[in-house]
Amino acid sequence: MSTRLRFATYALPLVAFAFLAALFAWRLGLAERGMTPDLLPSPLIGRTVPTFDLETIEEGKRLTSQDLKGKVSLVVFFASWCPECQIEHPQLIELGKRSDMTLYGMAYKDPSQKMAQWLAQRGNPYVAVGQDTGRRVAMDFGVYAVPESYLIDKTGTIRLKHTGALTADFIDGELLPLVAELNR
Amino acid sequence: MSGIFLKISALFLLLIVAAGVDCPVWALTPEEIMPTPALEARAGALEKELRCPVCQNQSIHDSEAVLARDLRQVVRSKIRDGETDGQIKAWLVERYGTFVLMAPPMQAVTLPLWLCPVAFLAIAGIVGAAFFRRRRQV
Amino acid sequence: MTAGLGQIFLVVGCFAALTQAIVCFVGAGRHSDRLMRLGRRAAIAQVAGFSAAFAALIYAYIVSDFRLLNVALNSHTDKPLLYKISGVWGNHEGSMLLWLLILALFGAFTALRKAKDMPEELRARAIGVQGLLAFGFALYELAVSNPFLALDQAPPNGRGLNPILQDPGLALHPPLLYLGYVGCSMPFSFAVASLIEGRKDCAWVTASRRSLRAAWTFLTLGVVMGSLWAYTTLGWGGWWAWDPVENASLLPWLAATALLHIAFVAEKREIMKGLAVFLAILTFSLSLMGTFLVRSGALSSVHSFATDPTRGTFVLAVMALATGGALALFAWRAPMLTNSQDTPSFELLSRETMMLVACLALALALGNVALGTLYPLAIEAFQLGRVTVGPPYFNLVFVPPILAMAAIMGPGAMLAWGRGGAIILLPKFRFASVVGMFVALALWAIEGSQAFVTILAMGLAAWLFAGCLVDAAERIQLGKVHLVESLRKIPQMSRTRAALLLAHSGLAVMIVGVAGSAAWSTDEVKRLQTGETAVMAGYRVTLKSVGENLKGPNYSYTRGVFELTHEDGDEPQLALAPELRFYDSPPMALAHAAIHTRWLTNLYLVLAAKNEGENSEGQNLSHKGYVVHLYRHPLTPLIFAGGFMMTAGGIVSSTRRGNKKKKH
C-alpha cells in the first residue's frame, strides 16, 4: 500500500468525526429554532379536514366539519387541566377578536361543565367548542399532545399545525402572515 | 452521559402536556381485552409494532399514556371489525405519519439504514485482510 | 451560604485542572521533576475542589436547602434520606458534577500511584490531558449547568424527584455507570500522551491497564444493573428497549471490550498498536458522545434530561476539541506505529487473528447500533422528515455480529499465539464442539427449523461455556490429582485466565438467557374480580383480595393478593402480591410487578389497572374488575446472572498485582 494511501487511511476517522460533529451542530441549530426532536411532522398538512359531527359544550348545539368551510378557521384542541393551555389562552383571546379568522375549540378529555366553567372564568374566544368524547376526532387530526392548533383555509384544507402553546413568535411569524394570505 | 434516568412523558413533556398524566395508570383496561386468546395475541403483537407518539420510544402496547390507550382501543375494535394488520397500520400512518411504525419501512429515506450494515461488513472484511497481509511473513 | 461555598470549590477545582494541565505539559517538556510533581499536586487540589463542591451539594440536599434552585427543582422534604442523596445525581447539573468528580478521581489516582510501570513524562502528559478535559467540563458546569444557582427566596417545598428513581438499585446505577464512562478517560489520556510523545511502544497500555479494567467492570455492572432494575421495577417485563440513551451506554461498552482485548494483544505481541490507540480514543469519545446526546436535546428519549440546545453546543465544543484533537494527533502520529522487524508473525489460524476478528465483530455491532441511534438525527438534520428506528431493527443488526463473536471467543481462548493449526486435536476443542452440536441438534429436534436463530445462539453459547469449563478443569488438573488439590489450584490460576473464563462463560450464560426469554416468553392477560379464578400460563390464578389506598413511604398503592396453583398440581401454591403505586409529587402511577423465580423461570405478575365502572368522562364501563397480566419468562434470570459473572471476571482481572508476564 502506498504511503500516501496509508496516511489517508489514518486520517479517515478524523474526517468521519468532522462530519458527525457537523451533523450534531446542524441538529442543535434546528433545535434552537424550536424544532425539537419530539415534535412530529403532521401528515395532514395539505389534506382536507377530517369529517366530524360533535356535540358542543353548550346544550343543544353541534359543531361539524361543514361549519369550518368558507372561512379561515383555527381549531384548537385544549383542556382545562393543561397548564400550557392556560399559558396560551390570552393569545387566543386576542386572536378571537380578529375578523380575519374564526376560532373553534375542541375539548380534549374534559367534561363539558368543567370546560364551560374554565372558559367563563378566563374568557371564551371560541365560536363553539366541540366535545370530543372518546377522542376519535382528535385521533383523526393526529393529535398527540395538548394544546395543538390547526389552521384551516376556506376550502377546508389544513394548512398549518402547531404543537404546544402558541408563542408570539409563531403567531406573528407564521400564523398571521398565512391567515392574511388565505384571506386574499 | 446517561444514567438510566427514566422520565416518563409526563415530566419530559412538561411543556407539551400529554393527556391524563394526573390520572391513574390505565394500561390495558378491562374493556379492551379481546374475546379469544388468539385475537388477544394478534392485538398484542400488532400493538408492539406501533410506536406511541407521546412516549416516543415505547410501543402503544407498553406505553401508559392516554393516547396509547386510545390507539389500543382503535386497534382492537378494528381487529374485531375484521380489518387486516395492513389496513390498521395504514389508518394510523395516515394520521400520525410513518413515525408510528416501529420498524422503519423500506423507503428511499431509510435505504441507507439497511445498506450501511452491509457496507460495514465489507469494510470489516477489508480491514481484517489488510491487517493480515501486513504481518511479516514467517 | 452553601451556594457560595459550593461555587467557590467548583472554581477551585476548575482552576486546579487548568494549572494541572499547564504545569504537567511544561514539566514533561522540560523533563523537570519539580514541575511534574507540582502537576501531580494540582491533580490532588482538583479532586479536593470537586469533592468539596459535591459534598456541599449533598449537604444541601440532605438539609433540603430550597434556596438552591437545583434542590428546589429536584427534591422534597418527604423524600427518604437515601433518595434525597441519590437525588443529587438524578438531575443534569448534579450528575455532571459527579462526572467531573470521577474524572478528577481517576486523574488523582494516576498521579498518586508509584510510577514503577510508567515513564514519568508519559504520566505527566496523561495527567495533563486529563486536566484539560476536566477544565473544559468544569467551565461547562460553571457556565451553563451550575448546580449552585440560588433563588432569592426559598420556596416552601421542592418539586420532588421522579418517583421512578426512588429505588435502591437505581440510586446506585448512575455512579456505577459514570465510573465506567469516565474511567475510560484514563486510557484515552494515556494514548493521547503517547501520541504526543511520538512513542512507538505500548507503555501507555501498561500504565492505564488498571483504570481500563476497573472502568470496564463498572460499566458492565452499571449496564446490567440498569437492565435488572428496568425488569423488576417498570412492570412491562422488558429489560432492554434500544432507547437512544441506553444505546449511548452500550456503545462505549462495546468499544471498551474491544479495547481491552486489542490492548492486551498490543502489549503482549507488539502488533495492532495503532488499532489499540484508536480504540482508546474511540471508547472515551463514545462516552463523550453519550454525554452530548443525553443532555443536548439532539435526540428524543424517555431517558433524556431536560433538553437545552445551549448546553448541547457547549458539550459539542468540548467533545470536538477532545475527540477532534485526539484524532488529528492520531492521523499525524499513528502511521509511525508500524510493526518493527522483530515483530513475531502470526498465521491465519492463531490467537491474534481470532482477537482481531472478534474485535471486528464488536466493531460491526457497534457501528450498527450507532447507525440506528444516529440515523433519525441525520434525517432530521437534512429535513427529510421523521424516521424512527426501533427494536426490530436493532435486534436484527446486533445479534449476528455478537453471535459471530461468540463463535470466535471459544477458539480464540484455546489457540496459541502465533500459530494454532493443531487446535482441532485439542481435547477441549473437541469436547466443546460435541457439547455445542449436541445442544443445537437437540433444540432442532424439539423446536424445528424456524427457531434457527435460537438454535444457533444456544449451540454457540453451549460451545463457549463447555470450552471454558474444560479449560478450567484442565488448569486445576481436575481428575488428574486429588479433588482437594484441584480446588486449591483455583486461586492459583493466572488472574488473566481466570478473568477470561469467568467473563466468557458469563457471556455464554447471558446469551442462553436472552435467547431463551426471547424465544419462549409468554404473556396472558385476563380480567378478574375479587374471588375470581382464571387459568393463565398453566396456572390457576385466584385474586384473593385487593387493598386500596394503602400508604407507602411516599406513595399510595393498590395491592392485589393472588394465589397461583399450577394446573398439574406438582408445585407448591404461590402467593404473589403485585402493586399499583400512585405518586404525589410529581403525580405519576407505576405498576410494580410481583416476580417469582422457580428453576430459572420467572413468573411475572402485573396488576395493571382497576375499573370502577365509570371512566373519568362519566361513561359507564360494562366490565368491572382488575386487569391482570401473567408473563412467563423462561431463562430470564440467566440474563442478569451472566451479566454479574462478566462483572466478576472484570473484578478478578483488576485485582492482579504487579506486572508478572506469565505464559499461557
Q: Which residue has the higher pLDDT, C170 or C467?
A: C467
Half-sphere CA count of B74, side-chain side, radius 13 A: 23
- Which range has the top average pLDDT, A71-80, C306-315, C545-554? A71-80
pLDDT at B8 over 50: no
Choose the closest CB to C393 out of B23, B25, B104.
B104
Chain B environment of C534 (Cβ under 8 Å): none
pLDDT at C621 over 60: no
Give me the pLDDT at residue C619, please.
47
Q: Do C320 and A31 touch (CB under 8 A)?
A: no
Which of B60-69, B71-80, C201-210 has the least mean pLDDT? B60-69
Mean pLDDT for C314-342 is 87
Q: Do B49 and C389 touch (CB under 8 A)?
A: no
Q: Do B93 and A108 touch (CB under 8 A)?
A: no
Helix (H/G/I), strand (E/B), else coil: A103:
strand
Q: Do A109 and B13 touch (CB under 8 A)?
A: no
Which chain B residue has the Cα nearest residue C360?
B124
Q: Which residues of C442-477 are buried (b: 16+ CB within 10 A; e: fewer)?
A: ebbeeeeeebeebbbbbbbbbbbbbbbbbbbeebbe
Give me the pLDDT at residue A138, please.
93
Phi, psi of C291 (to 5 degrees): -55, -45
Burial of C328 (0-12, 13-18, 19+ CB in 10 A): middle
pLDDT at C588 over 70: no
Burial of A9 (0-12, 13-18, 19+ CB in 10 A): middle
**Residue C77 Cα to chain centre, angstroms:** 31
- Which range has the top average pLDDT, B56-60, C281-285, C570-574? C281-285
Q: Do B99 and C388 touch (CB under 8 A)?
A: yes
Q: How far is B102 from chain A (nearest CA, A)?
A: 15
Which of B1-10, C372-381, C622-631 has the least mean pLDDT? B1-10
- Which range has the top average pLDDT, C360-369, C450-459, C613-622? C360-369
Per-residue confidence band for C643, with pLDDT thresholds at 50, 70 and 90: very high
Chain A environment of C376 (Cβ under 8 Å): 37
Calculate the average pLDDT of chain C: 86
Peptide bond into C586 cis (omega under 30): yes
Choose the closest CB to C330 out of A13, A24, A38.
A13
Residue C624, amino acid? K
Q: With beta carbons less than 8 A apart as the criterion, state whether C408 and C358 touch.
A: yes
**pLDDT more than 90, % of chain A:** 46
Per-residue confidence band for C344, with pLDDT thresholds at 50, 70 and 90: low
Give me the pLDDT at residue C176, please.
93
pLDDT at C252 over 90: yes
Chain A environment of B119 (Cβ under 8 Å): none
What is the DSSP secondary-structure string of C428-439? HHHHHHHHHHHH
Q: Do C334 and A10 touch (CB under 8 A)?
A: yes
Choose the closest CB to A145 out of B16, B70, B130.
B16
| Measured distance CA(C552)–CA(B37) in Å, rounded | 36
Check CB contact of A46 with chain B, cutoff 8 Å.
no
Nine-digit cell string for C39 = 502537576
Give me the pLDDT at residue C624, please.
65
Chain A environment of B20 (Cβ under 8 Å): 109
pLDDT at C663 over 50: no
Per-residue confidence band for B23, with pLDDT thresholds at 50, 70 and 90: very low
Give me the pLDDT at residue C585, please.
53
Calculate the average pLDDT of chain A: 88
Mean pLDDT for A51-58 is 90
Which chain C residue has the Cα nearest residue A8?
C331
Give me the pLDDT at residue B18, please.
32
Chain C environment of B113 (Cβ under 8 Å): 371-372, 375, 387, 389, 393
User: Grid coordinates 491474534 are at which residue?
Assistant: C352
Q: What is the pLDDT of residues A18-37, one digit of tens each?
A: 999 999 998 888 777 766 66
Q: How many CB pairs under 8 A join B and C?
A: 219
| B-contacting chains (≥3 CB pairs under 8 Å) | A, C
Which chain A residue has the Cα nearest residue C274?
A10
Start-to-end CA span in chain B (Å):
46
Residues 56-115 of B with CB under 8 A from C: 56-59, 62, 64, 97-99, 102-104, 109-110, 112-113
Mean pLDDT for C382-407 is 87
Q: What is the pLDDT of residues B94-104, one digit of tens each?
A: 999 888 887 66
Mean pLDDT for C259-283 is 93
Give me the pLDDT at residue C82, please.
86
Q: Do C377 and A109 touch (CB under 8 A)?
A: no
Which chain A residue has the Cα nearest residue B20?
A109
Q: What is the pLDDT of residues C116-167, one digit of tens each?
A: 778 889 999 999 999 999 999 999 999 888 989 888 888 888 776 566 667 7
Q: Do B54 and A84 touch (CB under 8 A)?
A: no
Nine-digit cell string for C565 = 396453583
| Measured distance CA(A106)–CA(A57) in Å, rounded | 9
What is the DSSP secondary-structure string of C249-263? HHHHHHHHHHHHHHH
**pLDDT more than 70, % of chain A:** 96
Residue C31: name the closest of C125, C116, C127 by CA: C125
Chain C environment of B21 (Cβ under 8 Å): 587-588
Q: What is the pLDDT of residues C9-37, one digit of tens each?
A: 999 999 999 999 999 999 998 998 889 88
Q: What is the pLDDT of residues B118-132, one digit of tens each?
A: 999 999 999 888 888
Which of B63-77, C251-265, C322-336, C464-478 has the least mean pLDDT? B63-77
Residue A76: name the closest of A153, A134, A152 by CA: A152
Peptide bond into A147 cis (omega under 30): yes
| Measured distance CA(C127)–CA(C120) in Å, rounded | 11
| Measured distance CA(C391)–CA(C398) in Å, rounded | 10
Start-to-end CA span in chain A (Å):
68
> Do the bridges between strand C579-583 and strand C588-592 make them parallel or antiparallel, or are there none, so unpaired?
antiparallel
Residues in chain A: 184
Mean pLDDT for C84-103 is 90
B11-16 long-range Cβ contacts below 8 angstroms, 24+ apart = B11/C162, B11/C586, B12/A38, B12/C302, B12/C304, B12/C306, B13/A38, B13/A145, B13/B54, B15/A84, B15/A164, B15/A165, B16/A38, B16/A84, B16/A145, B16/A146, B16/A163, B16/A164
Which chain B residue has the Cα nearest residue A49?
B95
Collect all residues with Cβ–Cβ distance below 8 Å to B124 and sequence separation of at least 6.
C360, C361, C363, C364
| Measured distance CA(C170)–CA(C560) in Å, rounded | 25
Per-residue confidence band for C288, with pLDDT thresholds at 50, 70 and 90: very high
Give me the pLDDT at residue C586, please.
52
Q: With beta carbons less than 8 A apart as the criterion, state whether C347 and C353 touch.
A: yes
Check CB contact of B109 with chain A, cutoff 8 Å.
no
Mean pLDDT for B77-95 is 91
Chain A environment of B116 (Cβ under 8 Å): none
Helices (H), B27-110: 37-48, 66-80, 85-96
Q: Which residue has the higher pLDDT, C303 or C488?
A: C488
pLDDT at C79 over 50: yes
Nine-digit cell string for C213 = 479494567
| Measured distance CA(C215)–CA(C210) in Å, rounded | 8
Start-to-end CA span in chain C (Å):
59
Residue C239, amino acid? W
Give me the pLDDT at residue A82, please.
79
**pLDDT more than 70, % of chain C:** 90
| Measured distance CA(C162)–CA(C346) in Å, rounded | 55
Residue C605: name the closest of C640, C569, C641, C559 by CA: C559
Residue B33: name the closest of C29, C420, C608 by CA: C608
What's the CA angle centered on A95, arms A93 and A97, to 5 degrees?
Answer: 75
Mean pLDDT for A44-58 is 91
Q: Do C331 and A10 touch (CB under 8 A)?
A: yes
Per-residue confidence band for C195, with pLDDT thresholds at 50, 70 and 90: very high
